[in-house]
Amino acid sequence: MISIGTQYAWNLLAVTAMSFQCSMAGLSVVAARKKFGVEYPDMGSGRFSSKLNEEQWLEFNNVMRVHQNYVEGLPIATITTLVSGLFYPKLSAISGAVYILGRFIYGLGYASRGASGRLVGVFILDAGLVTNLIASLVGIYHVLSKK
| Amino acid letter for position 105 | I
Q: pTM score, two decimals?
A: 0.90
SS3 133: helix
Question: Looking at the domain that runs over 7-140, which CATH code has it been given?
Answer: 1.20.120.550
pLDDT for residue 30 is more than 80: yes
SS3 95: helix
CA distance 6 to 77: 21
- Which pLDDT value is given to residue 29? 92
* pLDDT single digits (tens) 58-117: 888 999 999 999 999 999 999 999 999 999 999 999 999 999 999 999 999 998 898 899
Spell out the residues 6+ positions from residue 18 whose beta carbon is closer than 8 angstroms to its own: 74, 77, 78, 81, 96, 99, 100, 103
CA distance 115 to 109: 8
- Which pLDDT value is given to residue 147? 65
Spell out the residues 6+ positions from residue 87 whose beta carbon is closer than 8 angstroms to its own: 2, 135, 136, 138, 139, 140, 142, 143
- 129-135-137 Cα angle (round to 5): 105
- Which pLDDT value is given to residue 42? 78
pLDDT for residue 119 is more than 70: yes
pLDDT for residue 39 is more than 90: no
Domain ranges of the chain: 7-140
